[in-house]
């Protein structure tokens, strides 16, 4: 299976929404708002990186990266997510490929790091880890993880873009 990854195009929005909703419908940890979050980030021009995965020219996955604040200040750190893959193609490496490519794009753009909310078992494979000095107060600390690109991480409270409040 050959996976092509490319930036989102203007006409991809509806398919991204459908894939995201389908992927999170089968997730036990879903808020049910992931599709609305991506739409809100797009409308706010806050999709710093938005990549889609294609197999045989058919879209099968998506990953978003957006700006965040640390202690109320803009930063050169970004949030990963949502990431979604069509449910019938889970565990095929598509999500991993999207995440790796997105992280490469962030590094090339000069970002200093990335944070996410997710399953520690899954995200450690990309180098993400917990850091008690960097906090997100709306969930248990083990599900909030960071990856520093330059070896150092800021300290303080993280706030994702307001698009994450979409419902």
Per-residue pLDDT tens for 130-163? 988 888 887 788 899 999 998 788 899 999 998 8
- Residue 132 DSSP SS3: coil
Average pLDDT over residues 110-123: 94
Q: Which of 4, 90, 9 is nearest to 53 (CA)?
A: 4
List, in order, residues 6 or more apart from 47 with CB less than 8 Å away.
8, 38, 41, 64, 65, 66
Domain 4-165 superfamily per CATH: Gcn5-related N-acetyltransferase (GNAT) (3.40.630.30)
pLDDT exceeds cutoff 90 at 28: no
Q: Contact 62/50 with Cβ under 8 angstroms?
A: yes
Give residue 114's pLDDT. 97
**Where do the structural domains in the chain lie, given as residue ranges?**
4-165
| Distance (Å, whole) CA 13 – CA 39 | 8
Higher pLDDT, 93 or 75: 93
pTM recorded for the entire structure = 0.94
List, in sequence order, every beta strand (DSSP E) within 4-45: 4-7
Residue in this structure with the two tokens 């092509």, named with its chain if needed = 4
- Residue 108 DSSP SS3: helix
pLDDT exceeds cutoff 70 at 30: no
């Amino acid at each position: 299976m050959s996976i092509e990854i490319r930036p989102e195009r203007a006409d991809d929005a509806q398919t991204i929404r459908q894939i995201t909703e389908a992927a999170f419908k089968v997730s036990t940890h879903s808020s049910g708002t992931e599709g609305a979050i991506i739409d809100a980030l797009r409308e706010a021009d806050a999709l710093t990186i938005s990549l889609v995965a294609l197999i045989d020219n058919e879209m099968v996955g998506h990953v978003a990266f957006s700006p965040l604040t640390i202690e109320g200040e803009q930063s050169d750190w970004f949030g990963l997510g949502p990431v979604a893959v069509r449910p019938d193609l889970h565990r095929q490496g598509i999500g991993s490929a999207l995440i790796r490519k997105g992280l490469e794009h962030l590094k090339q753009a000069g970002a200093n790091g990335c944070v996410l909310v997710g399953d520690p078992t899954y995200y450690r494979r990309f180098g993400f880890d917990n850091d008690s000095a960097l906090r997100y107060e709306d969930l248990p600390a083990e599900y909030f993880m960071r990856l520093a690109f330059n070896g150092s991480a800021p300290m303080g409270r993280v706030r994702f873009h307001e698009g994450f409040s979409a419902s």
